[in-house]
Amino acid sequence: MLEALLTDDDQCFREEVRVFVSDSVAPELRGRVANGEELCKQDYVEWQKLLSRRGWLTTTWPVNEGGVDWSPLRHYLFEEELALADCPPAGLTLGVGAKLLGPILCAFGSAEQKERLLPPIRDCSVWWCQGYSEPNAGSDLAALATCAVRDGDDYILTGTKIWTSYAHWADGMCCLARTDFDARPQAGISFLLVDMHAPGVTIQPIPTI
């Protein structure tokens, strides 16, 4: 059914992705993915750098910020071809900077924030993790207990996050924290960027899961 929807240009695009994988992604790496072997951070960084150099890491960003003008079908073909070729995943958990933070900054960030934060995402020099869930607040974000209190130009952040998508690899975290304690539970929550190397930040992996 899908083939019937593809134009000649779509078929050419699909072939372009296949050639990219064949020419650029090491067979050894694809073999380890196919065998379900554990990959290290450097494997993912090098993979995302390959995508970045081709202009295919930040595909959901606006074109003027380094994104692409693809149809939904092209996005599907791209992801399908990478999966069929046993490329490392580049989804949200392993691409928080490119898939989550980048589009948010493009839509809501100041000019200074974009200038400072977007280039290290594009060149894969900074790794981000996601800090949404908590031990007692998973998909129910209205139950968030982590709080942030304004202190001049800073926020004092107190709380615990879990399922933080490779936090032990991360340089920064996209963190949801409660900043308005008088608002209803579903409101009063702010999106903060946290330096994972800052004093007071403790990271404890869960190796047995």
117-146 in b/e burial notation, b at 16+ Cβ within 10 A? bbeebbebeebbbbbbbbeebeeeeeebeb
Task: Tell me the per-residue pLDDT of 124-169, one tens digit each, with 9 for 90 and over.
Answer: 999 999 999 999 887 788 899 999 999 998 999 999 999 998 999 9
- Residue 169 CA from chain centroid, whole number: 13
Residue 117 to residues 47, 104, 110, 163, Cα–Cα distance (Å): 20, 11, 10, 23
Task: Tell me the per-residue pLDDT of 63-73, one tens digit each, with 9 for 90 and over.
Answer: 999 999 999 99
CA dist 166 and 169 (Å) reads 6
CA dist 111 and 116 (Å) reads 9
Residue with tokens 């207990």: 145
* Weakly modelled stretches of the chain, pLDDT under 50: none
